[in-house]
Amino acid sequence: MKTIANATKAGQQPPSSEPTRKRSNPAVRKGLFQSAATLVMLFFGILMVVPFIWMISTSFKTPSEVFQYPIKWIPADFKWDHHVKVWTGENSFVHYYLNSLKVSIISTAGATFLSAFAAYGFARIYFKGRNALFMIYLSMMMVPPQVLFVPKFLMFDWAGIYNTHLALILPGLFTIFGVFMMRQFFLSVPYEISESAFIDGAGHFRIFFQLVLPLAKPALATLAIIDFSWHWNDYENALVFLIDDSLYTVPLGLQNFILENTVDYNGMMAAATAGIIPMIIVFLLGQRFIVQGISNTAVKG
């Protein structure tokens, strides 16, 4: 009996003095990670927004408040004189706005349609060398646009469109990024849709306009917003291919205003504020399309 009791005691494990480790909850870790990521993005978002807030605030300040320290974010008395000068002064922004709207709207509409048209061919129509041709076309994105200024200048001068808005509109109708983006979207559309349409006797044009294009509204809207923003802010092409002040777009108009008002910091901030108003409006109207379009046009593995 004593032997059995000793054996039983020997077989028992002594109670551990170490505290029991609690397993971390995956949901808690995920929540902490998301909270940290949100704080980091919020921090950098504030860093990017602060200069714009200062710019808009300065456009309403008096000259003595511009360099006041600490910064006075809300002016004591809002001055509208600088904004009135931008729109009604000697170099009014009205015709700069009209020129930019003309170039941006025409270029954006044409580039969006042509990009979708070309992308459908690369994504849905099989022909020999299709992928190789697309890779060659895509490789042109590696060519710096500044390299093409001299060839384009000679070509536009020969065609008689130098110093016209056509010199800005025609190159803007063809965008490699737009073709790539729309192709990725068309690849995500189920092929069964096209196959059933082919069985019913539909051709590629009918499938493109009646089936595929309506499904591509989010991607088209995203591409249109990106193209419009690029054309509105295009400075280099306008500087190289436009001479007459009457043809200047907003970026060149802003440059003229700054050169003529080198010490009027309030006026410069008012002019810069006027230049970004369309971008703010376009972004607010189309931000949901941007998010939806990016998710729909993700690169397939």
CATH 1.10.3720.10 placement within the chain: 92-296
Does residue 39 register a pLDDT over 60? Answer: yes
Please state, in angstroms and rounded to a whole number, the distance separating the CA atoms of residues 252 and 230.
15
Tokens linked to 213: 């294009």
What's the mean pLDDT in 100-104? 93
- Fold observed for domain 92-296: MetI-like fold (1.10.3720)
Say what the pTM is: 0.77
| 27: enclosing H helix or E strand | helix 26-58
CA distance 241 to 254: 17
pLDDT at 301: 42
According to the model, what pLDDT value does residue 15 have?
53
pLDDT at 106 over 90: yes
pLDDT surpassing 60 at residue 222: yes
* 256 CB neighbour count, 10 Å cutoff: 15
Identify which has the larger pLDDT, 26 or 233: 233
CA 129, CA 102: separation in Å to the nearest integer? 38
Tell me the pLDDT tens digit for each residue of 182-213.
898 888 888 877 777 787 777 778 888 888 88
Query: Is the confidence at residue 144, as pLDDT, over 80?
Result: yes
Tokens encoding 16? 């551990």
